[in-house]
Structure 1
Amino acid sequence: MSVARPSSAHRRTTSVGSSEALGRADFDPASFVNGVLPDEKSLSQVDGMIERLRERARLVDAEIAGALRAQSGSEARAREDFAVITHGVDALANRLAETEREAAKTEESVREICKDITRLDRAKNHLTGAITTLRRLSMFVSGMEQLELFALRRQYGDAANLLQAAAQLSTHFEAYCDASTAVTIARARTRETAARRARRRRATRQTRRAS
């Protein structure tokens, strides 16, 4: 058997790094064999070399299997993470929808409260106006009674001053002239005042006759 003899440097490199040579991009099988089997004596080491190559193949297979398992585990974890993220997104979407519904309810409640506040404010204004009007009416009625008394006593100067004040006060009731209830009350009050005046006049005449 004639085998080419490589240089001593090549033999040292091949014998030392034979396993690394298998992974080189420029791997040459003939050069590799010549490197590990440089002469006929080295043919006795063929079985050992084959066993080392098989061991190397088993290691490579184990590395490949480990890489595949790691990749499979990564994919499983990725699927689990994706499922968790999807569940979180769904929960967040449900929470946002619930928040929107609660916000809509709150907005409706605020609108109702604003309407109630507006109605209460109007009622307050009406009540304030009614109280003011009643006070003025009380002052007007009291002034009319005082004016009647001044007329009976012939205190015309005081009556003139009071009559002017009563005329100014009566302008506040012009807006109520069209109200049927107010007109009815005013007419009843006028009749009552007229009847009271008539009674006082009769009493005054009787007193004068008796004297």
Structure 2
Amino acid sequence: MNKLKTYQIKISIATASAVAILFVGCGDNYKRVGQEAATTIYPQGVARNFTLTYTEAKKEMSSLDSAETRVIAILKSPLNKDFDNLEFQYKEFPEGLQVDFFDEKNQKSVITADYGIIYSQTNLIDLQGNVVITAHDGKKLEAPQLYWDRKNKWIFTQEKFTYTNPEDGTIMDGEGMDFNREFTFFNAHKTYGLMTIKEN
């Protein structure tokens, strides 16, 4: 009997050890990746019914001067999230935006988009979703996405676009283009489809 009890005790110890090893081996030491590991990022500021007016002085000023300024752009959005507290700074407009900008003659052109993001350090604006630029003379550009380089006053896309010019009655479809803000220089990378030309 002694041998049987010893044998049963050994089996019980072996079973208990196996269960303990099983529980220790099943510990949660899984390193989270992807969405699970994403750090929550909070904006430093949130503004609703946001309006920002950009102005510039008509002449260069010193620190003690005062001078007349002119409005060069007005940015409006239902929601603005300011992430300038991050290392890579940006401002986001998740519910869309409208930018009215004015040339030297105070003629207004308008840009609208469903979503926008301004990269503060590079002065690049990424506009997405139903992007429409309407120039003061009625020229219109429609595209799903556009980039606007504010520093160089240059707009470009690699997406499909439709360009309407009421001056000569033409409608042009294409893919990829770049142009200056005033529409005085326009470079379409690829054009296709029908071009409607107004007859006199």
The two structures have a TM-score, normalised by structure 1, of 0.29
- Relative to its length, the structure with more strand (as a share) is 2
TM-score (ref. length: structure 2): 0.30
